[in-house]
Amino acid sequence: MKVKLVRKPFNIKEVDKWIDKYPTQEITIEKVIIMNKKRFEQFTSNFYEECDFLPGIVEVHNEDDKISLIVDSQGYKYARYVGR
């Protein structure tokens, strides 16, 4: 899958603001995570929060709105790189 990943965004607004500045890269999704709306909003409001489902390259879905993000933690327990 080809995706643009923003390095160390704090929240989803920063991803949207900076995504066009980053090059497209090829990645392989290791896991898919489906969240309810409340958990997804919590996750996307602070990407520095430690998450048990990281590390790895994961696709995170909001089950209510069908919104998805790609997260590459680079071995950390927070969303180090985030893209759409």
Dihedral sign of CA atoms 30, 35, 38, 41 in order: positive
| Mean confidence (pLDDT) of the chain | 94
Determine the average pLDDT of the residues in 41-65.
92
With cut-offs at 50, 70 and 90, classify the pLDDT of residue 55: confident
CB-based contact 49:41 (threshold 8 Å) = no
- Neighbouring residues of 10: CB distance < 8 A, sequence distance ≥ 6: 46, 47, 48
CA neighbours closer than 13 Å in the CB half-sphere of residue 72: 16
Into how many domains does the chain fold?
A: 1
Per DSSP, the three-state class of 26 is strand
Determine the pLDDT at residue 66.
80
Predicted TM-score (pTM) of the model is: 0.91
Domain range for 42 is: 2-83
Determine the average pLDDT of the residues in 25-54.
94
CA neighbours closer than 13 Å in the CB half-sphere of residue 58: 20
Inform me whether the pLDDT recorded for 18 exceeds 90. Answer: yes
Determine the pLDDT at residue 39.
93
